[in-house]
Structures are given as C-alpha cells and as structure tokens.
Amino acid sequence: MINFIEIREFRMKERIYFAVFGIVLGIIAIVSSIMPVWWHNNKMQKQIQHLQKEIHLLKQQKESYTIQKKTIEKDPGYIEYLLRNKMHYGKKGEKILD
C-alpha cells in the first residue's frame, strides 16, 4: 500500500528545492544584468573626474597665458625675459632662477 504521507512530504521537499532553485536563479539573473551596468557607470564616473581635472588644468593654463599676453602688451621688455627664461640664457654674470 502506498503511504500518502511520504508522497506528500516528498512533493513538499520538491517544491522547497524548486523554490530555492528559482530564488537562486533569479538572484543570479539580476546580478548578471546589473553588474555590467554598474561597472560601466563606475568607469564613466572615473572618466568624468579625469576630464574635469584636465579642464581645470587647461583653464589655469589659459588664465596664465592671458596674464602673460596682457603683460606683453603693456611691457615689450617682458618678451626678452620670457625668452631668456625658457632658453635658460642669461646675460654675463646673471643667474637664471627656476
């Protein structure tokens, strides 16, 4: 004779295993779809920060060039100073400081 209680317990175990398998499979599917998006987002954030730093440095460089341009327009002798400073060339007895 078939023991219906054992069959019922066996089916209950199957349902529990199937539910656990479904939950694990769902978690794996969600993680596998979210992780690439997260990695790409993280990469883009780092790239944005790098570009912002580069923009900041270029703005500072532009500002220094603007100051040099205004100084040159006011004092033409400043051109000689810039050229000698870039070429590390001084007059006799003059020391060039870096």
Residue 2 — pLDDT band, cuts 50, 70, 90? Answer: low
Q: What is the pLDDT of residue 6?
A: 63
In DSSP notation, 24-65 reads: HHHHHHHHHHHHHHHHHHHHHHHHHHHHHHHHHHHHHHHHHH
What value does the mean pLDDT of the chain take?
84
Question: Ranked by mean pLDDT, which of 16-25, 66-75, 83-92 comes out on top?
Answer: 16-25
pLDDT digits (tens, 9 = 90+) for 23-63: 999 999 999 999 999 999 999 999 999 999 999 999 999 99
